[in-house]
A = this chain, B = another copy of it.
């Protein structure tokens, strides 16, 4: 959710009954503090900060979330053992994002409060195992007893119900909110999400840090290098710096990185975050009633 989830989106989600997260991966510590302050002014409800452990500024970001009395931190990428105890000592609820059993177990050992298990279909950074949400949730569920949040492929109430059926306790939704009114994604990027069909996102950079991107000019340049056995150096040279900002925040649709999940193909309209949450909850309850109605039919007739 880098470049997409600032204080506007986080506060809108929290005000609508979700847990909004500020995506700090694209923020230097001062900017992050500004977003925290503004988010606090915009909502009285809890919100959290997501800190990818692989980016620069991690140490300073961790210090600042403590200083700003943030109560919930999601960490992703990197080793959950590194910062979990420090955050817990400061009374912070810690959730780590994983894509495989090994890292889920490591998170549990590190003392996190919950785990996000994110499948292959998710946008942005992704696991090397390529395990999908459908396979990953039951696998992680079987191996840890912590609260389990499913991510990857979830954009609707039916998706939420399916994730809970697979054994999750809750869901994390990214892509659907990138295409919200309050997201700070550039309008040109949001339009690309609405236009996306199945097969329009693909996982690349598997030798370094796998990332799911919308197919655009940059994507095809990356793919060309990879399919011809190009080196990691060649890829890093092509990517340079600031490609994510360029694509998602500045709207340079050809030259920038456009991180989004496979569910982009299900997204047809930019809506306010509150509408998205209401629609997801409505569909969730309807789908649940539909299934339960059948249950009672079966019980009656069988």
Contact = CB atoms under 8 A, between A and B. Distances in A.
Nearest to A202: B130
A134 interface: yes
Closest 10 CB pairs of A and B: A129-B199, A229-B229, A134-B153, A292-B292, A162-B162, A228-B229, A135-B262, A132-B132, A162-B165, A161-B165
Contact of A133 (B132, B154, B288): B132
B100 A198 contact: yes
B198 A136 contact: yes
24 contacts: A100-B198, A121-B134, A121-B135, A129-B198, A130-B203, A132-B132, A132-B152, A133-B134, A134-B153, A134-B154, A135-B263, A135-B265, A135-B266, A136-B198, A138-B156, A138-B266, A139-B265, A159-B166, A161-B291, A164-B291, A165-B165, A227-B229, A291-B292, A292-B292
Given A121-B134, A229-B227, A101 B162 contact: no
A130 B197 CA distance: 12
A106 to B, nearest CB: 14
Interface of A: 100-101, 119-121, 127-136, 138-139, 142, 152-154, 156, 158-159, 161-167, 197-199, 202-203, 207, 227-230, 261-263, 265-266, 287-289, 291-292, 295-296
Contact of A153 (B130, B132, B197, B229): B132
A262 to B, nearest CB: 4
Given A207-B227, A291-B291, 14 more contacts: A119-B132, A119-B134, A128-B199, A129-B198, A129-B199, A131-B198, A132-B152, A133-B134, A135-B261, A135-B263, A138-B158, A158-B166, A227-B229, A291-B292
A190 B162 CA distance: 29
Contacts of A167: 158
Nearest to A131: B198
Contact of A291 (B138, B207, B228, B288): B288
Contacts of A163: 162
B288 A198 contact: no
A280 B100 CA distance: 24
Contact of A266 (B139, B154, B158): B139
Contacts of A156: 138
A121 B129 contact: no
Contact of A198 (B135, B153, B198, B287): B135
A291 B132 contact: no
A102 to B, nearest CB: 8
Contacts of A121: 120, 131-132, 134-135
